[in-house]
Amino acid sequence: MEKPTKIAVPRGKLGVLLPGVGAVATTFMAGVELVRTKKALPVGSLTQMATIRLGKRTEGRSPKIKDFVKLARLEDMVFGGWDIFPDSSYEAAAKAGVLDAKHLALVKTFLSKIKPMSAAFYHEYVKMLNGKNVKKGKTKYDIALQVKDDIARFKKKHGCSRLVMLWCGSTEVFMKQHEVHATPESFEAAMKENHPAIAPSMLYAWAAITSGIAYGNGAPNLTVDVAALRQLAQEHNVPIAGKDFKTGQTLLKTVLAPAFKARMLGLNGWFSTNILGNRDGEVLEDPGSFKTKEESKLGALEFILQPHLYPDLYKKIHHKVRINYYPPRGDNKEGWDNIDIFGWLGYPMQIKVDFLCRDSILAAPIVLDLVLFLDLAQRAGMRGIQEWLSFYFKSPMTAPELYPEHDLFIQLMKLKNTLRWMMGEDLITHLGQEYYD
Ligand SMILES: NC(=O)c1ccc[n+]([C@@H]2O[C@H](COP(=O)([O-])OP(=O)(O)OC[C@H]3O[C@@H](n4cnc5c(N)ncnc54)[C@H](O)[C@@H]3O)[C@@H](O)[C@H]2O)c1
């Protein structure tokens, strides 16, 4: 792809559309409001807190990312969403139990006004949920057109100059690419005949892309990872990115595994288990939804460790991932990892990680960064898969012939170098010989 010559300045309102107004979406919206009213800090967000080094180490140029690439301002964001439950975003946030009473009180008026539009939903794709705030229509195509109408209405009502859609809805049942996903024509025909290979998340994605709106996928769902939607994204000049926010356990996995590989330490096994008690955990009790999440969580190790290149170290890895729904914990997930490594002459060692995390607190800044970077990509004329956003995902989307990059620090370098490239700055290679000439 050619370097963007001109990046449009972010003028006017940026509409943020969220299918799924649950724990993550409400924590994100509440957080943006608390930050822009100066009541909290955007901890965890690169776009708000991180700097980027430009030029040589001796130049001392390290602007904030948001100033360097001119990201949209939080003050210019307006929010909308869809959910199968009619609760306002305030009620949904209160039920999710992520934010404490003090924070909830501060955003009550703001969140109460954001009411979800009726959802494109079919129970067989998320078997643990039943809700009444659901669109009616003869075919999936009719439903997708209703989503397009919702988008157009939202844009007009709020006077948005740009929009981004980011899936914060539930994990759907496991799906593989099907022949109906091959082309935009076969995809549209499949929507018209209510084909089972068209999941609800795909209806939102199709509606967004064909409306010229960037789409990000926060769940492990197949959604935009099919040929037809990739082609439509190219044709409509729309950036797409996914999938599955990299928040807790996998974040640490993609930090630790590169360290073992860097030091040529071997790995026999990695057992990861979780307890969590939020609605996401309940949805993942269904084996179909769990399979989607499991596939997403399992991928990282294989790609980082490259057992085909290092058979002595990584050929026989027992990698297991478990998720257990345990209501008393709510959104405060506990993720345990037992890691069996081996060193010099094959002597075994163990590492235990116990991460008492907060799922949505980790996910919310990722939502913010993805919204702002997808908007930037679109203003810069970048379309199709945005691999430089792999940093944020458990299963990064890539061109079909490429393997995904999972190492967090390679992902970060890729992200920052992409920003430098967009702005015509030198890429940073970390060679550094010039300092010693
Ligand atoms: N929080 C994390 O750390 C994290 C990490 C990675 C991925 N995710 C994914 O993000 C998503 C959201 O997580 P959450 O904790 O907010 O879950 P949640 O259950 O609190 O919220 C999801 C919401 O989506 C709604 N929904 C389901 N299908 C829908 C549809 N077709 N249209 C509109 N709404 C629909 C549900 O009713 C629910 O309110 C999940 O898929 C989860 O797997 C979360």
| Residue 336's pLDDT band (cuts 50, 70, 90) | very high
Chain center to CA of 150: 23
- Tell me the two tokens of residue 172: 């759907």
Section 97-122 average pLDDT: 96
Q: How many residues does the chain have?
A: 437
Q: What is the largest CA-CA distance in the chain?
A: 72
Does the CA dihedral 414-272-318-350 come out positive or negative? positive
| Residue 162's pLDDT band (cuts 50, 70, 90) | very high
On average, the pLDDT of the chain sits at 94
| Greater model confidence, 5 or 224 | 224
Q: Residues enclosing ligand 1, CB less than 6 A?
A: 19-25, 82-85, 96, 119-121, 126, 129, 131, 168-171, 200, 218-219, 244-245, 247-248, 278-280, 283, 359-360, 362-363
| 363 Cα to the center of ligand 1, angstroms | 11
pLDDT at 229 exceeding the cut of 80: yes
What is d(CA 64, CA 47) in angstroms, rounded to the nearest whole number? 8
CA–CA distance from 210 to each of 215, 237, 239, 289 (Å)?
11, 10, 12, 27
Section 140-154 average pLDDT: 98
Q: Which residues pair with 351 in a beta bridge?
A: 339
Residue to mutate (ligand 1; options 24, 143, 297; most atoms within 8 A of CB): 24
Query: Residue 298's closest CA among 257, 341, 355, 354?
Result: 257
252-272 pLDDT, tens digit each: 999 999 999 999 999 999 999
Predicted structure pTM score: 0.95
65-108 pLDDT, tens digit each: 999 999 999 999 999 999 999 999 999 999 999 999 999 999 99
CA–CA distance from 291 to each of 88, 171, 172, 174, 275 (Å)?
31, 10, 9, 6, 16
2-22 pLDDT, tens digit each: 777 788 888 899 999 999 999
| 22 Cα to the center of ligand 1, angstroms | 6
Task: Let me know if 433 is exposed, middle or buried by CB neighbors in 10 A (0-12, 13-18, 19+).
Answer: exposed
Ligand 1 atom, smallest distance to 201 CA: 31
CA–CA distance from 159 to each of 11, 76, 78, 163, 368 (Å)?
12, 11, 10, 10, 20
